[in-house]
Structure 1
Amino acid sequence: MELIEHYQPEYVVRFAERKRACTCPACQKSAGDWPVTQLKLKNQQRDSLDAGCETAAREILLNPQAFVLHTSTTEPDSKQVFNTWDETLNQLCINLAVHPALALESSLYAIGVLLSKAQRYRDNDQCDPQELLTMGEQLSALADGGILDEQMRVLPPIEVNRVEALEQMGAMRLTLNLPAMQKMSMMLKLSELAVMEPARLQDRLRELEAGIARNTLLTDQPHILRNALIYKLYGECLPGPDADNYGDVLMSLTRMMFQLKMLCAMWREDNAQLTHDDVVALFSAWFNWQRGNVWKGANSADYTLLCGLSLI
């Protein structure tokens, strides 16, 4: 039998080597091998962890080397094929997410440009992976030359989309592993978003965006948010073989980053600083929540791509 590639990121290896079981609330409610996950395809297997576990989230987010891949071989255990088009597009998205010349926001912008072009190819039945590779090379060259950073900075602001995204956070029901008073404060802040008048929501957005700039932990350790992006791309093989609207894919990524930043800004309003423990608690709760609240749009790919870009 032909063997396939078996990928294990560093965070999976470190999690397996731990000496004590995780006792976070999510793990206490789970059984079996959780939070270990495996994406099994006919031509590769990717091991990962569910970031709803706080120990897993800590390994995924806080280690700059979390995505160093350990590669071996294994026997195939699935009939689902990750075809060359899907595999190439996923790898190019990951390449842009880790490109050393790009800030996180520029990486998201570059992924949006790539997905927009890929959508046009696909809509025209031009699913030749070589076209994607050529596009990937062009984007990498633009990144090296600083052009993508410049293009991202001159994107026209569409504040109405950001206000709407903030309002939607009012529907979040996070299971936060925090002291009671801090948990209550965070949930109140979220609930208020659902009932605010549009003008107040706009002011609230600006308050929180100013707060993001003061989150020195995230600016001093940019790998935390970048690891969240890579985790999403790697673990779900995005865009994935079942995606027919790449705008939805970009929106899911930029919406995730927007919401995680906003949660950190809300936390910072009532606390002297944002610590590693705080990040783990907030992000892990978000990943637990989003498992049952996967975003799905109802608009065209072009429109959703534009909305996704506006959340960067």
Structure 2
Amino acid sequence: MQIHKTLKPIFVTRFQCVGPDCLISCCRGWSINIDKKTHQKYILSPHAEIAAIARENLILQRKGKSHYSSVKLNEKGECPFIDENKLCMVHRDLGEEALSHTCSTYPRSSTRFQDETRHTMTLSCPEVVRRVLFDPEAMLIQEEEALVAGYRTNLIGQRQSVSQTQQVIHLFAWNLIKSPARNIEENIMALAQFILCLQHVNFDLHNTFADVENFYEALLNDLQNGKSLMQSDNPARSNAMKYLALSVMGTCVAKDSVRDRFILEGHREIADFLNVAELSHPAELDAKFDRIHQQWQTLCEGSCLSEPHVLRNYLLYKLYSSYFPGKNTENILRQFYRIVLDFFYLKNILSVKSMQNDIDEQVVMKTIASFSEKTMHNKSIDARMDFAIDKINGGDDLSCLLLIG
């Protein structure tokens, strides 16, 4: 027997699907795989309408039991099982137990390790975004322990237990992001400095733990006392990198619109605002980015983003869902770069968007859900993002610090 932990953030336990009131439906624009058992259930359903829809719209794939067929979307890009009230006929007439694995589990997911199971939900669902960002308790972690037989922990697909070093780094990173500070960018910069400290000691916490802990506590003290950790880099270099990052994100992310065009529209608003083709002097680009920065400050002080937990919860979610820093600490800066780049892109989209219209919770929910659909549900996205970062960083992942301010 051994102890197995189950971890669930509060937002997971409080989530409820809002069905037809969802801002971006998961029943639109996506390829839906149907397992063999569910396929037969629909085809042979006693409900004539469901059976007829299934026979016409379930396209055989035969790529294994879990991908036996796929749903052909209608001319509106919607699942044909959706009725005029935007409700699922299968759920309505056959019950939740009749849903396919894909439909019954989304937006939920879990990762099982030998000694623990971590539950989460994907931010591509707008209601998950609402639960994560706008509930002060969302990222409180509930933990349960149970004694299980040793053989039950040896399951196909499970991951090896994370190392003690990874767990300690994760806890340090968590507390640095969670700490009160002048603004959330200070928390991000504190994490960057802590990563550099870890690299300096080659992640050898066994022999250098006291020094690392002292450095971590000094960072916490600076954050809590309102001391700024931001570095005054060359603005021109910083803005040139910001423009390159925005351009690359447009190519890698914004153009891949499946369910919606919200991020694509946001990216076009940035492009229209910067209007680089019409600029005659580099100082004009600097002035544009200054305006974006000022607008971001305004948002953080007087909008739905102003509560301290909102942006902090977003970053805590990122740490939790990736179990930052992951097993390969050699890639820790690249993992950090991904977090910074995502935050930077969303920050710029919301800032520019707010210059024309008020930013409310629904706009934030749709922006993050649309962005997350592009970055969390694409098998090639990791390779594409690595390629994008290599194009941005000039061979130095630490250059992501230029995107923070």
TM-score range relative to shorter protein: 0.7 to 0.9
Q: Distance in 2 between matches of 1:4 and 1:12?
A: 19
Q: Distance in 1 between matches of 2:200 and 2:225?
A: 20
Q: Does the CA contact (< 8 Å) of 1:106 and 1:152 recur in 2?
A: yes
Q: Does the CA contact (< 8 Å) of 1:88 and 1:132 recur in 2?
A: no
Q: Does the CA contact (< 8 Å) of 2:190 and 2:219 recur in 1?
A: no
**Identical columns (%):** 17
**Alignment correspondent of 1:107:** 187
1:161–1:152 Cα change, 3 Å: farther
TM-fit CA distance, 1:63: 0.7
**Alignment correspondent of 1:159:** 239
TM-fit CA distance, 1:120: 3.0
Q: 1:274 aligns with which of 355, 359, 364?
A: 359
Which amino acid is 2:205 matched to?
Answer: D
Q: 1:234 aligns with which of 299, 312, 320?
A: 320
**Alignment correspondent of 2:160:** 80
1:90–1:193 Cα change, 3 Å: farther
**Alignment correspondent of 1:93:** 173
Q: Distance in 1 between matches of 2:108 and 2:239?
A: 39
5+ long unaligned stretches in structure 2: 33-101
TM-fit CA distance, 1:209: 1.9
Which amino acid is 2:10 matched to?
Answer: E
Do structure 1's residue 71 and structure 2's residue 130 form an aligned pair? Answer: no
TM-fit CA distance, 1:288: 1.2
Superposed, 1:109-258 pairs within 5 Å as: 109-122=189-202, 127-129=204-206, 131-132=208-209, 134-145=211-222, 150-157=227-234, 158-171=238-251, 172-173=254-255, 175=257, 185-190=265-270, 196-197=276-277, 199=282, 201-215=285-299, 216-217=302-303, 220-258=306-344
1:39–1:285 Cα change, 3 Å: same
The secondary structure found in structure 1 opposite 2:303 is: helix
1:266–1:6 Cα change, 3 Å: same
Q: Distance in 2 between matches of 1:116 and 1:141?
A: 14
TM-score by length of 2: 0.66
**Alignment correspondent of 2:397:** 304
TM-fit CA distance, 1:149: 5.2
> Which is higher, the Rg of structure 1 or of structure 2?
2
1:183–1:243 Cα change, 3 Å: closer
Q: Does the CA contact (< 8 Å) of 1:54 and 1:281 recur in 2?
A: yes
RMSD: 3.2
CA offsets per residue over residues 58-104 of structure 1, 9 Å max, x none? 11111111011111125545242211111111111111010134631
CA offsets per residue over residues 128-172 of structure 1, 9 Å max, x none? 356356424432234324598545244324333223223323322
Q: Distance in 1 between matches of 2:166 and 2:232?
A: 28
How many residues align structurally? 303
TM-fit CA distance, 1:226: 1.2
CA offsets per residue over residues 219-241 of structure 1, 9 Å max, x none? 52232211110000011111100
Superposed, 1:9-28 pairs within 5 Å as: 9-15=9-15, 18=16, 20-21=18-19, 23-28=22-27
**Alignment correspondent of 1:37:** 109
5+ long unaligned stretches in structure 1: none
**Alignment correspondent of 2:3:** 3
Q: Does the CA contact (< 8 Å) of 1:109 and 1:309 recur in 2?
A: yes
CA offsets per residue over residues 247-278 of structure 1, 9 Å max, x none? 2122112212211111111211221x110111
Q: Distance in 1 between matches of 2:394 and 2:171?
A: 21
1:245–1:311 Cα change, 3 Å: same
